[in-house]
């Protein structure tokens, strides 16, 4: 039995922090793991910036609700979920992703979580497990699923390479060139066809 594991940011929705930096008018939030490779440090810094701007979870969710999924993403997910099981596997936080999941028809989402005070202040974050994409795909395989995975970035390669079939989607040229053996697509139609063919 197949299950499809999809990365979220860059595949179904824009990069949340970049879109949020634009929507909120806080450009320094565009800083990514390319600027600060220590993810925990980067997240603590982001939470401090949010606090400085007086942004708690309700304000952040309101801003994120102005961000739209990538064009065609909802239709792609609807079609995919009509013939197979799908899990969105992301390194983001469910509290940030929820406004976007609403626009995608609430697919299953496996990601991380935040601690939030009653007044809306975000006080901490919790990563579900180390290396969550690969770990999750392996766990699904251990309960009898054949996985098919797709994502756009380096942190997706583990789950793509460990799966029965895997595809890059909307990846930068540098990533495609580093793993030329992985088929790479740019349109939802191509990705849908490739997933269907992998299930034959
Ligand atoms: Mg991504």
Helix/strand/coil (H/E/C) assignment for every residue in the chain: CEEEEECCECCCECCHHHHHHHHHCCHHHHCCCCCCCCHHHHHHHHHHHHHHCCCCHHHHHHHHCCCCCCCCHHHHHHHHHCCCEEEEEEEEEHHHHHHHHHHCCCCEEEEEEEEECCCCCEEEEECCCCCHHHHHHHHHHHCCCEEEEEECCHHHHHHHHCCCEEEEECCCHHHHHHCCCCCEECCHHHHHHHHHHHCC
Residues of the chain with confidence (pLDDT) below 50 = none
> Ligand 1 center to residue 22 CA distance, Å?
18
> Ligand 1 center to residue 10 CA distance, Å?
4
> Ligand 1 center to residue 118 CA distance, Å?
31
52 noted as active-site residue: no
> Ligand 1 center to residue 122 CA distance, Å?
23
9 noted as active-site residue: yes
**How confident is the model over 111-152, as pLDDT tens digits?**
999 999 999 999 999 999 989 999 999 999 999 999 999 999
Task: State the pTM of this model.
Answer: 0.93
């Amino acid at each position: 039995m197949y299950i499809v594991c999809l990365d979220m940011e860059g595949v179904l929705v824009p990069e949340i922090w970049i879109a949020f930096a634009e929507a909120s008018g806080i450009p320094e939030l565009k800083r990514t793991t390319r600027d600060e490779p220590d993810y925990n440090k980067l997240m603590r810094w982001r939470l401090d910036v949010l606090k400085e701007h007086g942004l708690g979870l309700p304000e952040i969710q309101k801003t994120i609700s102005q961000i739209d999924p990538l064009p065609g993403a909802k239709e792609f997910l609807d079609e995919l979920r009509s013939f197979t099981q799908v899990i969105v596997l992301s390194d983001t936080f469910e509290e940030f992703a929820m406004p976007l999941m609403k626009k995608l028809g609430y697919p299953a989402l496996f990601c991380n979580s935040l601690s939030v005070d009653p007044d809306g202040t975000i006080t901490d974050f919790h990563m579900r497990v180390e290396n969550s994409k690969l770990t999750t795909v392996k766990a699904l395989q251990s309960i009898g699923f054949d996985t098919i995975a797709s994502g756009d970035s380096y942190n997706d390669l583990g789950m793509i390479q460990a799966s029965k079939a895997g595809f890059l989607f909307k990846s930068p040229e540098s990533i495609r060139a580093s793993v030329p053996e992985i088929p790479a697509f740019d349109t939802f139609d191509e990705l849908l066809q490739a997933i269907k063919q992998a299930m034959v």
